Amino acid sequence: MMDRTRLILDLAYSALIYKGEEIISEIINLEDSIDESLVEIFYQILEGYKQGEISRDEAYAYLTIARSLEEIADSAYVIAKNIVHGFRPHPIIKKIIEESETSITVLYIPIGSLAVNKTIEEVVENYGKGVEIIAVKTGDHWIYKPSNNFVIRENDILIVKGSEESLEEFRRIIGAEEVLEGGED
Amino acid sequence: MSTVISPFMGEKPLNLSVRDIIALLKDVSELMLDLGLSSIILRNEEIAEEVLKLEPIVERLLEELSLKVIVSTRSLDDARDMVPFLSIAEMIRSISNSAADIANIVLEGISKLGEIPEVVSEFEGVVTVLKVEEGSYVDGKRLDESLIETKTGLRIIAIRRGDTWIFGPEGDEVLRGGDIIVVRGYKRGLGALRDMCRTRGEDVEEAK
C-alpha cells in the first residue's frame, strides 16, 4: 500500500506539471486498488485483534497509517480529476503544461519488445538516454521506483518520464506500445 | 536549481512563479510522505520529527499560491477558472496533514509495536536524515567535494539548517556542522555516510 500511495501521488503531480493525460486512467485504477487494500487491512487488523495477535495500540497505529495512506491517495485522485474533468483548463495550468519540457507516458511492453528480459539499467543505458522509468506494473502489482536490476517482462506496463522526443525515441527503439487514456483496465 | 525556503520569511513574497510553487509543493509534500513512510520502516523518531518541520513550509507555499490566485482574479469568469487551484491547494494541505498523522504514530512510540502487516508496508528504498557533526569529514566541504554520492550511492535531496530548508542542493553548497541532511537511497550506503558525518573518535552507534 505504501508503494502504491507513493506512486499515485507522483503520478497526480506529474499529471499536473507535465504533459501526459494517459496516466489519469492509471491514477483511477490505483485509487480503486488502494481503496480495496484499505478494506482488506481493516479486516486483517480486526481479525488479528480478535485473535489476540495484535494489541490495541498496534491496531490503532496500523489503522491510522493505512487510513492516512488512503486519504493521500484520495487527494491525489482529486488533483488528477481537477486537471481533466469538470473545469475548463485555466490559462495558468495550460501554461504550466505547455512550458514543461518533461512529459510522462505509459508504455505497454508487447511480446518481442527489445526490453523483454532486460534489467532497467540495461534498457535505460542502451535505449533510453534521458528517460526515467518511475514505475512498473507487472501483473496486478505496481512497483514504484524499481531498482536498476529489476527485470522487465512482456506485458509489463512502464511509466516513463522524459522529454517528448526522448520518450518517443525510447518507445520506438524498444518496440513498446503507447497506452491510450481509457484503453487499459 | 536549488531553492532555499524558511517559514519565517515574513510578508516578503517568495518571488516564485505559480509553476515553481506547484513544483516545490510537489517536492515538499512527496518528501513528507517519503520521510513519514521511512520513519515507520526504520522505526526512527528523528525522521518523523523532520516530517513535522516541513509542515510550515507547505503552509507558506500554499499561502503564496493562494495570493497569486487571488491577485490574478478579476472577474467571476476568472474566479471560476481558479477553482481547480484552490481544490488542488486543499488536497496538498490534506496530503501534508496525512503525512504528519503517519509521523505522529511513530512519535507516539511505534518502536514498542510488532511487525507491521506486509500489505501496509511494501515500500522500496528509503529516505533518511542524518546530522552533520562539527569537525566531521564532510563539515566545511562542498557537496561535490564530499563525494557522498560516489562513495555511498546516497543522494542528498534536502538540507535543513536551523529553520531554513534547501531543496535540491547544488554541488557548490557547503555543508556545515549542525546541518540536517535528507538522503535518498538504499540502506546499504547508510553506514558509510554515517561515518562521514560523524566526528572522529566517537563511539559508533550501530543502526538497527
The domain A2-93 is classified under which CATH number: 3.40.50.1100, 3.40.640.10, 1.20.58.220, 3.40.50.740?
1.20.58.220
Which set of grid coordinates corresponds to residue B160?
535543513
- Residue extent(s) of CATH 1.20.58.220 domains in chain B: 3-112
Which pLDDT score is estimated for A109?
93
Which pLDDT score is estimated for A184?
39
Which pLDDT score is estimated for B205?
44
pLDDT at position B204 over 60:
no
Q: How far is A150 from chain B (nearest CA, A)?
A: 12
| Chain-centre distance for alpha carbon B101 | 16
Reported confidence tier of residue A19, pLDDT bands at 50, 70, 90: low
- Select from A62, A64, A79, A76 the least CA-distant residue to A33: A76
Put simply, the answer to whether B105 touches A76 (Cβ < 8 Å) is no
Nearest to A71 among B87, B98, B124 (CB): B98
Looking at chain B, which residue has its C-alpha nearest residue A91? Answer: B81
The length of chain B in residues reads 208
Considering only residues B150 and B202, tell me which one the structure prediction assigns the higher pLDDT: B150
Q: Which residues pair with A141 in a beta bridge?
A: A138
Lowest mean pLDDT among A46-50, B61-65, B149-153: B149-153
- Select from B131, B83, B101, B114 the least CA-distant residue to B37: B101
Whether the pTM exceeds 0.90: the reply is no
Reported confidence tier of residue A85, pLDDT bands at 50, 70, 90: low
Reported confidence tier of residue B208, pLDDT bands at 50, 70, 90: very low
What's the CATH fold of domain B124-196?
Alpha-Beta Plaits (3.30.70)
Domain borders along chain A are 2-93, 101-178
Q: How far is B141 from chain A (nearest CA, A)?
A: 30
Under a CB-based contact definition with an 8 Å cutoff, are residues B138 and B148 in contact?
A: yes
- Residue extent(s) of CATH 3.30.70.1450 domains in chain B: 124-196
Span B100-114, average pLDDT: 79
ipTM of the complex in this document: 0.70
What's the CATH fold of domain B3-112?
Methane Monooxygenase Hydroxylase; Chain G, domain 1 (1.20.58)
Read off the pLDDT of residues B125-143 as tens digits, 9 standing for 90 and up: 667 888 999 999 999 999 9
pLDDT at position A28 over 50:
yes
pLDDT at position A162 over 70:
yes
What's the CATH fold of domain A101-178?
Alpha-Beta Plaits (3.30.70)
Span A156-167, average pLDDT: 87
pLDDT at position B52 over 90:
yes
Put simply, the answer to whether B119 touches A144 (Cβ < 8 Å) is no
Q: What percent of chain B has pLDDT over 70?
A: 82
Distance CA A81, CA B88 (A): 10
pLDDT at position A140 over 70:
yes
